[in-house]
């Protein structure tokens, strides 16, 4: 099951400040819904754990994330692969930053998740709304942290 996301928001920070936040997992990972922990592997790779609960499937998702595109201060992209209760997932998230008048930054973001396994069939139509709700919680958290 493939789920796509995307939108944009504006914050009152310069692109360099926004970029520094987005490429620092120690700063943004705690904003993930149901965040459990994060472990840095090296400068561009980390392991993040989150609680997952949808329908009758509950447990911990463990995702290996990598910063795969790094164009300071305009663009960053992450890719991840991991185990989720009842399946596996691959993730991609990208952020493009545009300076706007008044030392503000427009953050154009997009993402994609592919979920396979029992969770995709058991959660059925609940999976996409659940994922979109959690992505919106993350974006709301980013806006607040950057505000």
Parent domain of 20: 2-146
Model confidence at 142, in pLDDT bands (50, 70, 90)?
A: very high
* Total of domains in the chain: 1
pLDDT tens readout for residues 18-59? 999 999 999 999 999 899 999 999 999 999 999 987 767 789
The enclosing domain of 52 has a CATH number of 3.30.530.20
Model confidence at 124, in pLDDT bands (50, 70, 90)?
A: low
pLDDT tens readout for residues 57-78? 789 999 999 999 999 999 999 9
> Residue 16: is its pLDDT beyond 80?
yes
Give the CA distances from residue 63 to residues 18, 27, 103, 110, in Å, rounded to whole numbers and listed in that order: 24, 17, 35, 18
Whole-angstrom distance between the N-terminal and C-terminal Cα of the chain? 34
Q: For the residues 105-130, what does the mean pLDDT come to?
A: 86
What pTM does this model have? 0.90
């Amino acid at each position: 099951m493939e789920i796509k996301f995307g939108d944009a928001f504006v914050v009152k920070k310069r692109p360099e400040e926004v970029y520094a936040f987005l490429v620092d997992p120690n700063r943004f990972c705690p904003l993930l819904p149901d965040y459990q922990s994060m472990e840095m592997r090296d400068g561009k790779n980390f392991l993040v754990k989150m609680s997952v609960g949808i329908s009758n499937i509950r447990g911990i998702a463990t995702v290996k994330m990598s910063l795969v595109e790094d164009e300071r201060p305009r663009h960053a992209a992450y890719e991840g692969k991991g185990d989720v209760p009842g399946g596996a997932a691959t993730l991609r998230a990208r952020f493009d930053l545009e300076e706007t008048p008044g030392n503000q930054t427009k953050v154009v973001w997009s993402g994609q998740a592919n979920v396979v396994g029992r969770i995709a069939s058991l959660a059925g139509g609940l999976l996409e709304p659940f994922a979109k709700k959690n992505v919106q919680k993350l974006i709301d958290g980013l806006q607040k942290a950057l505000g």
